[in-house]
Chains A and B, each alone.
Chain A
Amino acid sequence: MLKTWINRAFDAATKRLDGPLMMTLIVLAAISFTVVYSATGGQTFDRSLGQMRNFAVALVALWIVANIPPQQLMRLAIPVYMVGLMLLIAVALAGESRNNAKRWLHIGILVIQPSEIMKIGVPLMLAWYYHRKEDGLALKDLTVAGLILILPVGLVARQPDLGTAILIFASGFFVIFLAGLSWRIILGGIVAGAAAMPVLWNFMHDYQKRRIYTLIDPNEDPLGAGYHIIQSTIAIGSGGVMGKGWLHGSQAQLDFIPERSTDFILAVFGEEFGLLGILLLLTLYLIVIGRGLMIAVNAPTTFSRLLAGAVSLTFFTYGFVNIGMVSGILPVVGVPLPLISYGGTAILSMLVGFGILMSISTHKRLVST
């Protein structure tokens, strides 16, 4: 009797969860605790415990989102997007500046970063838009979609927060791409973008330009702009195939790697766990992305397909940009290593994405065609 009751409760709790995603998530979380512990000097559990708390909170969010049927999610599209947009405008008008960037907004006792909302808000809105249009491939629809995308991206880029702007743009672009954006337009965009490079260059902030210079030759300013990238490549490279062992990375333990528990945590991981560790991590990411795309492909509605696809591809973008940056092939932008870097907001938005995927994967039977 009790047994069946427990079983039923368990079923109810896990009904909306996706097995493969949950398994991968647990492995990634375990890696995160391990590396965050090492990245904070291996002396205190404070940050590891903090990271567990971050995961716990995000898991609750994941569970809640997973239990919201996609149709309900669709209804949230306009409110979430509109609120996000309002807040971005509010930031531009009355935001708080830290380190020369206006990204934060005080609401009562809360300090929020509205650009984070848009990471979900934009793909949600675009998926809703294309869902409503069904065959929305006309130029007019593309213009509307473009506006939906460009407004928040522009506002975030102006803060300036290039990393987040890129991620929001990517998440929205993936929706449009998956909806069948014509290759001619894509190619045209690439050509136009390349042509506009010199103009863009003039609009870039000095620190952004410096990051590009640094990428080309980090040794030009080894103690300034180049320091991060030099030290992180030394850490990764010196790790070799097998790594130096957990808690034994000299670059990490002796504080040579800046931001070592957040954006540059891959350097710690690569130094202590070597090429094998990194290949394992890439594999886990591939599993997440692959599973996400599978859910997207099998999703019953345009909305859920596009949303699931965009969430998966955005996850990929996170990983690619971060790993590329830490290993010195992309310029330094503030993008965390998904599910490994310490930080509550990033993990929360990531697991909300997972929740969306799970909601889509577990609710399809309920949708009648």
Chain B
Amino acid sequence: MAGTIIRNREAEVVVFRRRALIAGIFILFAFLILASRMFWLQVIKRDYFHTLAESNRISTLPVVPNRGLILDRKGEVLAANYSAFTLEVTPSQVANLEKTLDELATIVDIQPKDRRRLKRLLEESKNFESLPVRNRLTDEEMARFAVNRFRFPGFEIRARLFRNYPQGEVASHAIGYIGRITVDDLKKIDTANLTTNYKGTDHIGKRGVEASYEAELHGRTGSEQVEIDAGGRAIRSLSKATPASGSNLMLTLDIKLQKVVEDAFGERRGAMVALDPRNGEILALISKPGFDPNLFVDGIDPLNWDLLNNSPDKPMLNRALQGTYPPGSTLKPFLALAALESGKRTTTQGISDPGFFSFPGGSQRWNDDLKGGHGYVDMRKSIVVSCDTYYYQLAADTDIDKTAEFLSLLGFGRRSGIDIDGEVEGVLPSRAWKDKRFARSTPDARKWYAGDSISTGIGQGYNTYTPLQLAHAVAALANDGIAFRPHLVKQITDAATGEIREVKPVIDGRLAVKPANLAFIKDAMVGVANEPGGTSVRIFANAGYISAGKTGTAQLFSLKGEKYRESHVTERLRDHAWYIAYAPADKPVIALAVLLENGGFGGVAAAPIARAVFDFYLLGKMPDPKISKAMEANAKDVD
């Protein structure tokens, strides 16, 4: 019995030894496989993996250039940069953003406004982008976040450069603003082949000078080779190509003047363009109401955006370039000049004004705004007292196409070529224009009628122009027929080299008129502001300088046969008030066009703003609010 057990044991040991040997061979074989695999990875494919490891390790990061500054003509800062700490989030790294934001709000002040903005940015951007949650963190908030950072993966504090517009609403339509780059912007950047230069850039000019001079302001993006860790954080810098800061822009605007005018507008809607007739430099460009460009810098929140966009006052509309209004009587000096040049009128030729115009044998009457008429009216008086009947008659005697041709030389119905975007053409009516405008209508509706000429003859009817066009035209007149292209940028300074490039004035029109005719018209416009009966004479009483001007009233509401009474129509339907002017009359250095929406009669409402501009620009006088109120009241019953 014992024998079998021993034999069994021996047999078992033999089996075990054999099995152990097989296992050993198997193990050697398995380790050989592992060693071959390592040989494959570390010897044969070593270079391949080495390259991969290097590209893992090294990342080229864009170094965003500083955006150029924007200054006014005297060096006052209009747009600048400041560095601030912002709390940003990469949404793809956060599971429940809403909940995390609630928690975060206990540490860092997060306003509903910030949340709304983030929500909007989330919809517009890709998930892996870093988006701002809160800007301008205080030191205390930064410290609190730093301590709690581990609780908020995906959130980070970054130092960023921000755009700041220290003037707030002042000149906002001219300066414009920058905003976050959208998908549409990206397409444009791509088309312009600038993708590389915009790596790392979050913002782009959206409006005004910020948009039209984007190329100069942006600068050239540099790059930095850095060693990064798996989380993409830079560990150390390997090499660097420094960026070139954007150029600084000096504008033609005089921000103090701008401010004076904006204050003079107060809460009223309208626009004003003042420029130097000798070179086309825009000294002030007003469109009221304006907006605060600072709201747009980090992405405007939807609430404010809706407020701006849906306001009936249309604060986002740049009225100076984009608003078109019938010019009313401000067109008269230009029409008179056209008549002198074409020989349809002489300076001395006059009419007797019965208070209305009608075609011989016709029954329709076009009323003068002075019941009973102005009596005997020659060309000079027609401008000084703004006699409508004179111009009804003139329109009847001239051909609309000839008139359009002449006005076109002064820039009416054309884009001026100002160096910001959005300008519109307005309407310079002619037969060809009407035919095209009503191309889909009956042939009768496309025809030009004599009656059409009559109302356009006093700047009503189909005429609509922008305040910029009127300012440009009056500047051309002031500068004896030589018109300069209006522009907002005076000089461009290369931030790196300090090299200054002056923007040269560009002549965009020469009015080939007889000097005597021009002088006659200009003299009549001096009369408007300086002679008894002149429509703005009370406003310019005791000015201390001689200015030339012309009032205008653009009718919005036609009260058939009834006398127009301001108090009887609602504010929105009141006439627009115009005033065009230049000063000093003998050697003009400033020309302007003021438009007050629903302002009523031009001489009453718009001319005081021109007075304020000239007083400040020529004499350095700040307007006295009490005096301007009194002037307005005094002028009330001129009409």
| Cβ A234 vs Cβ B16 within 8 A | no
Check if B38 is an interface residue, CB within 8 A of chain A.
yes
Report 13 cross-chain contacts, Cβ distance below 8 Å, ordered by A residue.
A174-B23, A178-B16, A234-B53, A237-B49, A237-B50, A238-B52, A241-B43, A275-B39, A275-B42, A278-B35, A289-B27, A293-B23, A305-B16
Mark each residue of chain A from 287 to 314: 1 if its CB lies under 8 Å from any CB of chain B, else 0: 0011001001100001001100100010
Closest Cβ neighbor of A301 among chain B residues? B9
Q: Closest Cβ of chain A: how far from B52's Cβ, in Å?
A: 5
Check if B12 is an interface residue, CB within 8 A of chain A.
yes
Assuming A251-B53, A255-B229, is B42 touching A237 (CB within 8 A)?
yes
Assuming A240-B43, A270-B42, is B49 touching A302 (CB within 8 A)?
no
Cβ 8 A contact of A274, one of B42, B48, B52: B42
Looking at chain A's contact residues, the main secondary structure is helix
Mark each residue of chain B from 210 to 253: 1 if its CB lies under 8 Å from any CB of chain A, else 0: 00000000000000000111110001000000000000000000
Q: Closest Cβ of chain A: how far from B92's Cβ, in Å?
A: 11
| Cβ B53 vs Cβ A235 within 8 A | yes
Assuming A178-B23, A282-B35, A309-B16, is B41 touching A250 (CB within 8 A)?
no
Q: Identify 17 new A-B residue pairs, CB closer than 8 A, beyond the known A236-B41, A278-B35.
A: A231-B56, A234-B53, A237-B50, A250-B56, A251-B56, A256-B56, A270-B38, A270-B41, A279-B35, A282-B31, A297-B16, A302-B12, A305-B16, A313-B27, A316-B27, A327-B34, A327-B37
| Cβ B43 vs Cβ A234 within 8 A | no
Chain B residues within 8 Å of A309, by CB: 16, 19-20, 23
Q: Closest Cβ of chain A: how far from B127's Cβ, in Å?
A: 13
Chain A residues within 8 Å of B229, by CB: 254-256
CA distance A290 to B39 in the complex (A): 23
Check if A320 is an interface residue, CB within 8 A of chain B.
yes
Chain B residues within 8 Å of A296, by CB: 16, 20
Q: Closest Cβ of chain A: how far from B162's Cβ, in Å?
A: 32
Assuming A270-B38, A297-B20, A309-B20, is B230 touching A238 (CB within 8 A)?
no
Chain B residues within 8 Å of A134, by CB: 5, 8-9, 12
Closest Cβ neighbor of B58 among chain A residues? A250
Check if A177 is an interface residue, CB within 8 A of chain B.
yes
CA distance A236 to B31 in the complex (A): 17
Check if A323 is an interface residue, CB within 8 A of chain B.
yes
Assuming A180-B12, A234-B52, A309-B16, is B38 touching A275 (CB within 8 A)?
yes
Check if B630 is an interface residue, CB within 8 A of chain A.
no
Chain A residues within 8 Å of B94, by CB: none
User: Which residues from 15 to 41 on chain B have a C-beta closer than 8 Å to any C-beta of chain A?
Assistant: 15-17, 19-20, 23-24, 27-28, 30-31, 33-35, 37-39, 41
Check if A324 is an interface residue, CB within 8 A of chain B.
yes
For chain B, the bracket of interface size reads 35 or more
Check if B45 is an interface residue, CB within 8 A of chain A.
yes
Assuming A290-B24, A297-B16, A309-B20, is B34 touching A254 (CB within 8 A)?
no
| Cβ A237 vs Cβ B17 within 8 A | no
Check if A63 is an interface residue, CB within 8 A of chain B.
no
Assuming A237-B48, A250-B53, A316-B30, is B41 touching A327 (CB within 8 A)?
yes
Check if A121 is an interface residue, CB within 8 A of chain B.
no
Closest Cβ neighbor of A289 among chain B residues? B27
Closest Cβ neighbor of B24 among chain A residues? A293
Assuming A178-B23, A254-B229, is B49 touching A238 (CB within 8 A)?
yes
Closest Cβ neighbor of A177 among chain B residues? B19
Check if A141 is an interface residue, CB within 8 A of chain B.
no
Chain A residues within 8 Å of B49, by CB: 233-238
Closest Cβ neighbor of A249 among chain B residues? B53
Q: Closest Cβ of chain B: how far from A261's Cβ, in Å?
A: 14
CA distance A85 to B409 in the complex (A): 102
Chain A residues within 8 Å of B16, by CB: 178-180, 296-297, 305-306, 309
Check if A285 is an interface residue, CB within 8 A of chain B.
yes
CA distance A231 to B52 in the complex (A): 9
CA distance A179 to B57 in the complex (A): 52
Chain A residues within 8 Å of B19, by CB: 177-178, 180, 309
Cβ 8 A contact of B31, one of A178, A237, A251, A286: A286
CA distance A234 to B50 in the complex (A): 7
| Cβ B56 vs Cβ A254 within 8 A | yes
| Cβ A237 vs Cβ B41 within 8 A | yes
Mark each residue of chain A from 72 to 94: 1 if its CB lies under 8 Å from any CB of chain B, else 0: 00000000000000000000000
| Cβ B38 vs Cβ A256 within 8 A | no
Check if A336 is an interface residue, CB within 8 A of chain B.
no
List the 6 closest pairs (A to B, CB-CB), nearest first.
A237-B49, A238-B53, A255-B230, A237-B41, A254-B229, A180-B15
Among A237, A239, A279, A309, residue most surrounded by chain B Cβ atoms (within 10 Å)? A237
Chain A residues within 8 Å of B46, by CB: 237-241
CA distance A235 to B57 in the complex (A): 11
Q: Closest Cβ of chain B: how far from A221's Cβ, in Å?
A: 16
CA distance A286 to B38 in the complex (A): 16
Closest Cβ neighbor of A242 among chain B residues? B42
Chain B residues within 8 Å of A178, by CB: 16, 19-20, 23
| Cβ A254 vs Cβ B227 within 8 A | yes
Check if A259 is an interface residue, CB within 8 A of chain B.
no
Assuming A237-B41, A293-B24, is B56 touching A323 (CB within 8 A)?
no
CA distance A306 to B15 in the complex (A): 12
Q: Closest Cβ of chain B: how far from A239's Cβ, in Å?
A: 6
CA distance A178 to B56 in the complex (A): 47
CA distance A297 to B16 in the complex (A): 7
CA distance A18 to B34 in the complex (A): 28
CA distance A235 to B5 in the complex (A): 56
| Cβ A135 vs Cβ B42 within 8 A | no
Chain A residues within 8 Å of B228, by CB: 254
CA distance A256 to B232 in the complex (A): 10
Closest Cβ neighbor of B32 among chain A residues? A282
Cβ 8 A contact of B38, one of A236, A289, A320: A236
CA distance A275 to B43 in the complex (A): 8
Chain A residues within 8 Å of B33, by CB: 329
Mark each residue of chain A from 270 to 286: 1 if its CB lies under 8 Å from any CB of chain B, else 0: 11001100110010011
Chain A residues within 8 Å of B54, by CB: 250
Cβ 8 A contact of A254, one of B8, B35, B41, B235: B235
CA distance A323 to B52 in the complex (A): 21
Chain A residues within 8 Å of B24, by CB: 289-290, 293
Mark each residue of chain A from 187 to 207: 1 if its CB lies under 8 Å from any CB of chain B, else 0: 000000000000000000000
Among B23, B38, B52, residue most surrounded by chain A Cβ atoms (within 10 Å)? B38
Q: Closest Cβ of chain B: how far from A170's Cβ, in Å?
A: 11
| Cβ A234 vs Cβ B56 within 8 A | yes
CA distance A177 to B19 in the complex (A): 7
Chain A residues within 8 Å of B52, by CB: 234, 237-238
Chain B residues within 8 Å of A302, by CB: 9, 12
Among B5, B9, B28, residue most surrounded by chain A Cβ atoms (within 10 Å)? B9
CA distance A228 to B101 in the complex (A): 31
Chain B residues within 8 Å of A256, by CB: 56, 229-230
Q: Closest Cβ of chain B: how far from A173's Cβ, in Å?
A: 11
Q: Closest Cβ of chain A: how far from B585's Cβ, in Å?
A: 74
Cβ 8 A contact of A135, one of B8, B45, B230: B8
CA distance A120 to B41 in the complex (A): 35
User: Which residues from 115 to 145 on chain A have a C-beta closer than 8 Å to any C-beta of chain B?
Assistant: 134-135
Chain B residues within 8 Å of A282, by CB: 31, 34-35
User: Which residues from 140 to 157 on chain A have a C-beta closer than 8 Å to any C-beta of chain B?
Assistant: none
Chain B residues within 8 Å of A329, by CB: 33, 37
CA distance A254 to B230 in the complex (A): 6
Q: Closest Cβ of chain B: how far from A295's Cβ, in Å?
A: 11
Chain A residues within 8 Å of B50, by CB: 237-238, 240
Chain A residues within 8 Å of B45, by CB: 237
Chain A residues within 8 Å of B43, by CB: 240-241, 275
Closest Cβ neighbor of A181 among chain B residues? B19
Chain A residues within 8 Å of B27, by CB: 286, 289, 313, 316
CA distance A233 to B31 in the complex (A): 18
| Cβ A297 vs Cβ B12 within 8 A | no
Among B42, B49, B53, residue most surrounded by chain A Cβ atoms (within 10 Å)? B42
